[in-house]
Amino acid sequence: MCGGTPDGTGGYWAAQRINPGEIFVAANEFRIRELSEDNPDQIFAKNLKEDAQAMGWWKPEDGDLDWAQVFGVGEYSHPYYSQSRVWRIFDRLAPSLGLSPYVEGPFSKAYPFSIKPDSTVNITNAVSIFRDHYEGTVYDLTAPPAGGPFGDPYRVWGPFDLHDAPYKGQLKPGSWPRPISTDPCGYSYVCQGRSYLPDPIGGICWLGMSSPAETCYLPFYAGIYDVPEPYKQGSHWNFDLNTAFWPFELLQNYARLMYSYMIPQIKAKQAQIEGAAIANQSVIEAKAVDLYKTNERSAREFLTEYTRETALNALNEWKALMGEMIVTYRNGNYNDVENKTITNIGYPDWWYEYARYQYGPRVYDGEGLNAIPDVKYVGEEVNITGDPIAYIQTYQTG
């Protein structure tokens, strides 16, 4: 959908059916292409073609109207802002297609409208995709040097990341990749529908607050009468640990200080809580179905209480995890609470070299050190290369 009618009111829309068993991805960019009244899988606004002609955007002799190209501006912010996410999801679900991460321009047709995944997609697969930062790919946001010494996958926007779309002939000289899991994200969800179950039971919204990679997805059944109080309120502007948003947001921000150390513990807690909820589904839903057969209200009340208990327990566990992470990694050390010991974590060797740590407060090389009168250079190096840039390149490719 989009606005832009000649008289300044209303807008336009186009829709295309997704083949059963296939996956479609949209990411801040139109992906429906040529529109045709003869295509049984498409419907679109009746005045779309007429108005496109009136505005000089398209004429019939051009062929079928290309919805994305005629009514869209291409990439939302910078090259690959949108299409890199389309590629990543398609490639994760159907690596057999061998899709390239690079395409020629924002209106490339290198990626199909939808794809059939190589294997069945479940809730675990879906939330895993939401948590992606292109790890292990050419866009890997955890990689050095930009990822820092501890692989922080998030970026402060640079001058070429602003949301002004590049127009024809314009190419921005730089930008950060836009990941699937982004730090400004307020919440995300996966909707699960099972037609073989009664609607109040078959529909679930798996909801996660804050950024997907550091949140926990919890089940909210379609038939519930109410949601827990912390999920009813909250603001990005008012810090309040009694809301559901802030405990997740606080841990997400704190984890960025030493991400490579904290994220494994966050993932372990995610697997524990989400795994239990998924494992309990069959038992909970079987009981709800039994209740539904005799009294729908009883089934709904049962699911309401289960949803409330699950969400609040998870929230309390996340607050405890948040406190554990703050204590354990306070001041950049590993603080072993059980044994009451403190270990200096330090930085990886490549970071010491890249930051020129071995050259001390003054900037000088090994020969310069040896040339200083009455100074004995110890002769030790952080790594064997002595070349920060070469070390980074080796790290990236090795």
pLDDT recorded at residue 6 = 73
| C-alpha torsion 383→389→395→398, nearest 10 | -100
Average pLDDT over residues 255-276: 97
CA distances for 228 relative to 2, 187, 199, 201, angstroms: 35, 16, 21, 18
Over 50: is that where the pLDDT of 398 sits?
Answer: no
Q: How confident is the model at residue 97 (pLDDT cuts 50, 70, 90)?
A: very high
Over 50: is that where the pLDDT of 395 sits?
Answer: no
Which of 170-179, 214-223, 249-258 shows the lowest mean pLDDT across its residues? 170-179
Mean pLDDT of the chain: 90
How buried is residue 181: exposed, middle or buried, by Cβ count under 10 Å (0-12/13-18/19+)? buried
pLDDT recorded at residue 148 = 95
Query: According to the per-residue pLDDT averaged within each range, which of 108-112, 292-296, 377-381, 384-388 is highest?
Result: 292-296
Which of 369-373, 377-381, 391-395 shows the lowest mean pLDDT across its residues? 391-395
Q: Quick check: 321 and 265 in contact, CB under 8 A?
A: yes
Query: According to the per-residue pLDDT averaged within each range, which of 52-56, 283-287, 349-353 is highest?
Result: 283-287
pLDDT recorded at residue 385 = 45
Of the candidates 185, 112, 202, 152, the one whose C-alpha atom is nearest the C-alpha of residue 351 is 152
| pLDDT tens by residue, 348-360 | 988 988 887 876 6
Identify the three-state secondary structure at position 81.
Answer: coil
| pLDDT tens by residue, 120-138 | 999 999 999 999 999 999 9
The pair of three-digit structure tokens given for residue 265, joined into one six-digit string? 């513990």
Q: Quick check: 38 and 125 in contact, CB under 8 A?
A: no
Residue 158 Ramachandran class (φ > 0 left, ψ -120 to 50 alpha, else beta): beta
Which of 92-101, 222-231, 331-340 shows the lowest mean pLDDT across its residues? 331-340
pLDDT recorded at residue 79 = 74
pLDDT recorded at residue 381 = 56
Average pLDDT over residues 24-39: 94
Residue 136 Ramachandran class (φ > 0 left, ψ -120 to 50 alpha, else beta): left
pLDDT recorded at residue 371 = 76
